[in-house]
Structure 1
Amino acid sequence: MPDISQTILRIVLVSGAALAIGLVAAFGAVFFVDIITYLNHFLLPEVWMSDGRIDWLTVLLIISVPVSGGLVAGQLRRLVDGGRAHGPAEVIELAQLGKGDIPLRNGVFTALSNLVWLGAGASAGQYGALVHLGATIGGALGRVDKWLREDFRLPGPVALGCGVAAAIATAFSAPIAGVVFAHEVVLRHYSLRAFAPVTIAATVGYLVSFWLFGRPPLFAVAVEAGAHPLAYSGFVAIGLLGGIVSLLYMRALLQAGKLADKTPLPDSLKPGIAGLVLGLIALG
């Protein structure tokens, strides 16, 4: 029979590690989102348009901001292994290989690249960037306890999951979403050894977001007393349509990636081209 004191010590150490990862990832997510929001507000043309008119300076800003952001982001991505920003795919791969060692250099420069690119108006979304940021923090803090006995340490993939869950729970004020995403997408299992620390990290992230910074849920859902039975057929239709749109969107992304790979330009310049297209679309 295992010593009860050893069991308690393991629970305390693993829970403490999850709490620390959740806390640091939560603050990292808050600052990441706030900086992007500030850059968007500061760089948006409306800020400089007091009378609502569109003049040549406004047109210049609409085009130059995403182009400049793309070029800077492209240069930052050259400092990442492979010459491109990493994302959820790399996190999932590490977790499935049983690893938790995201190179800090890759994590830092990927985060900076995403920060500049999203801050300049790129419509790439913050979800993937937050997943990688949280995983980077989780992986870095997960290596701190390497001097402990193996059964007292937080496994590398679980440390990644803790960081991911905390970042999502913080940014979206949705702890359950953070837990489910970490298990379903990153870890691909619900073992108790992973579920407890991931839940702790997500809960800490939510508390930091909601109670410390007072952030409301990103998506407010009204609670209805009930729905007419016929409405459920509509829910089914929405689900089917959403699935079809998702498949088409994913295929479009893959094709766009293949097209970008065939473009005879340095990879560091391609985000600038994307920024130019984005600016021209904004003018329309």
Structure 2
Amino acid sequence: MRLFDLYVRFIRRPLAGTDALLQMSLIGFFAGTITAFIIVLFRHAIEIPLYFLIPDRNPEHFETLSRIQKATLPVAGALVLGLFLYAMHIGDRKVGIAHVMDRLSNHQGYISFKSMMVQFFAGTVSIISGQSAGREGPVVHLGSACGSLMGQYMKLPNNSIRTLVACGTAAAISASFNTPIAGVIFAMEVVLMDFVITSFTPIIIASVSAAIITQSFYGSEPAFIVPEMETQSVTEIPFIILTGLAIGIASASFIQLIKVYMRYSHRNIVLRIAVAGLLTGAVAIFYPQIMGVGYDTVNQVIANEIALGVLVSVAIAKLLVTAIAVGLGMPSGLVGPTLFIGATLGGACGIIANMAWPDTPSSTGFYAMIGMASMMGACLQAPFSALLALLELTQNPNIILPAMLTIVVSSTISAELFKQKSVFLTVLQSQGLSFRNDPVFNALQRVGVGAVMERNQKRANRLLSLSAAEELLTTEPKWIIVEIDGRPASLLPAVDLARHVLEFNGGDPEQEIDLMTIPAQRKDIRSIYFQATLKEAVDRFQETGAEALYVERTSAPMIKTVLGVLTRQDIDSYYQYKK
């Protein structure tokens, strides 16, 4: 019991506030480490079957399959996924980054182990069967679930669970691309949608620890083979702007297609997934590059090994198949396909630029890389993440300026001209879900009730003797929780009881006092659990109309301990005087 008390005092209780940097960093390290091993396991679960399935033993070379295999593999995988999801409750079918954002916004970051297993299986089958999918969406879900489950197991305050979800997200992106900086920014810009200085350190530690572990398995090379590249002349700026314009239009079309086909979400899940598989198989006969993650094709584009006509055709095919399949409910990751589409469209723009201006423009690979960043930035509405991902992938600062230009152009075209939101927000909106992102909401989510509540309180039965009241006041509590039949019923300022006791100075010690009838400023009181954030406390005030909340935790089965008292004034004072 003493060890548990130390844990509560030095780990769990400080984490309710925003100052427990050391504790949060330590837990973030473990979250990143565990996430890294889960991501390695996930990649092995994909690569080992593909090693035996694909003729040349390369898990990404779906092009080497026969025509019949290209057509039937996605259909077979779609049937497996459709039947699997059909057996699930509709609430258990949601996977991917959009689901993580929903859990953060509406469920305090709680992700179940079942959801994690559904994502592991669905993500594995979708990529093995050659669906037009990325692995980044599944790994973010797996990493976020890892952080969430760790926080739930340790019974940490909900504000800390949110940070652990971000730690898992950063670790997943870092492990997948070998880009620890981009992982940190992705977690805060795309998933949390909130940049908080106090969260940076644990998220950075999680991202770095994941990168170190995955490098021991896969080496330190980035996800793509990138040669030295830079802008050759300022005369290329018009071509760079046109590339951003083209990708902005492609991004808006991609998001709009997903939105259109999500209107059929009320139809039978098996039928929808089967149609998506049939479409993928039919297109894969002619353009097998769309199958799977497709990073081998991206490397070919960067190396200028694919002709213009093929690039344009493959880009259009990938965009249409991915958008329609995801809209119909295929549990596919979206980050990988956006990089693929951006690379192929950017490469096509580079070839056209070379045709129009043979002596000046940069290489096709240069345009492919800025195209990847532009498509990612526009689809996710995450320009900072896209820029840093590009910088880490190329390890070349000379590409920053043109990339900034194309990212700004493509993001502006998609968001302002075509009025498209982030693809993940679009998915949530199409599912009838919301994602709140305002300063007040975020500020309340960062702090747990344990950091603000008044601990100086005592519990007392409604009826007690004068001597018992005097003994109760010797501990100098601020609040007294009045109980009726063993349950808290009202909150009484201790000073009001003290004033009433003084009126009976020298009276009969056994005289009975009714705490519900003596003159006092009593408050109606309701319960809230210790792990709750201040946002949950505000919601609880609004739902119940209570004037105060007593904070409790379950110390044993059927036994609840009251830890403190929280009023609206406590919340206001915390943000007014907190420095």
Aligned residues: 265
Pair member with larger Rg: 2
Q: If each structure's helix is expressed as a fraction of its own residues, which one has the higher value?
A: 1
1:130 aligns with 2:139: yes
1:82 aligns with 2:91: yes
In structure 2, runs of 5+ residues without a counterpart are 1-9, 58-63, 287-579
1:270 and 1:196 map into 2 onto residues whose CA distance is 43
1:29 aligns with 2:34: no
Q: What is the Cα deviation at residue 262 of structure 1?
A: 6.3
**Secondary structure class of the residue paired with 1:100:** coil
Question: For each residue in 1:132-170, what CA deviation from the matched residue of structure 2 results, as whole angstroms up to 9, or x when unmatched?
Answer: 111111111122332x6x5xx861221111111101100
Q: What is the Cα deviation at residue 131 of structure 1?
A: 1.6
Which stretch shows the higher mean deviation, 15-24 or 105-114?
105-114
The answer as to whether partners of 1:79 and 1:109 remain within 8 angstroms in 2 is no
2:136 and 2:270 map into 1 onto residues whose CA distance is 22
What's the counterpart of residue 16 of structure 1? Answer: 26
65 and 215 in structure 1: CA distance in 2 versus 1, 3 angstrom threshold = farther
Instruction: Tell me which of the two structures has the higher relative contact order, counting C-alpha pairs closer than 8 angstroms and 6 or more residues apart.
Output: 1
1:154 and 1:196 map into 2 onto residues whose CA distance is 15
**Alignment counterpart, residue 42 of structure 1, candidates 52, 70, 86:** 52
What's the counterpart of residue 178 of structure 2? Answer: 173
Q: What is the Cα deviation at residue 218 of structure 1?
A: 0.6
1:96 aligns with 2:105: yes
Question: For each residue in 1:84-108, what CA deviation from the matched residue of structure 2 results, as whole angstroms up to 9, or x when unmatched?
Answer: 3412112112223461211211221
**Secondary structure class of the residue paired with 1:111:** helix
Q: What is the Cα deviation at residue 227 of structure 1?
A: 4.0
Q: Give the letter aligned to residue 278 of structure 1.
A: T
Q: Give the letter aligned to residue 167 of structure 2.
A: C
1:228 and 1:24 map into 2 onto residues whose CA distance is 46
**Secondary structure class of the residue paired with 1:107:** helix
Q: Give the letter aligned to residue 28 of structure 2.
A: A
1:103 and 1:228 map into 2 onto residues whose CA distance is 53
1:15 and 1:173 map into 2 onto residues whose CA distance is 21
Q: Give the letter aligned to residue 115 of structure 2.
A: N
Question: For each residue in 1:205-226, what CA deviation from the matched residue of structure 2 results, as whole angstroms up to 9, or x when unmatched?
Answer: 1111224531410134444476
The answer as to whether partners of 2:21 and 2:202 remain within 8 angstroms in 1 is no
**Alignment counterpart, residue 270 of structure 2, candidates 268, 271, 276:** 268
**Secondary structure class of the residue paired with 2:269:** coil
255 and 20 in structure 1: CA distance in 2 versus 1, 3 angstrom threshold = same
2:134 and 2:89 map into 1 onto residues whose CA distance is 20
What's the counterpart of residue 106 of structure 1? Answer: 115
1:71 aligns with 2:73: no
Q: Give the letter aligned to residue 261 of structure 1.
A: S
1:186 and 1:225 map into 2 onto residues whose CA distance is 31
Identity of aligned residues (%): 28
2:285 and 2:231 map into 1 onto residues whose CA distance is 44
98 and 200 in structure 1: CA distance in 2 versus 1, 3 angstrom threshold = farther
What's the counterpart of residue 232 of structure 1? Answer: 237
2:51 and 2:134 map into 1 onto residues whose CA distance is 16
In structure 1, runs of 5+ residues without a counterpart are 48-53
Which stretch shows the higher mean deviation, 240-249 or 272-281?
272-281
Q: Give the letter aligned to residue 239 of structure 1.
A: G
Q: CA RMSD in A?
A: 2.9
Q: If each structure's strand is expressed as a fraction of its own residues, which one has the higher value?
A: 2
Q: Give the letter aligned to residue 95 of structure 2.
A: H
**Secondary structure class of the residue paired with 1:169:** helix
220 and 154 in structure 1: CA distance in 2 versus 1, 3 angstrom threshold = farther
227 and 141 in structure 1: CA distance in 2 versus 1, 3 angstrom threshold = farther
TM normalised by structure 1 equals: 0.81
The answer as to whether partners of 1:35 and 1:119 remain within 8 angstroms in 2 is no
**Secondary structure class of the residue paired with 2:133:** coil
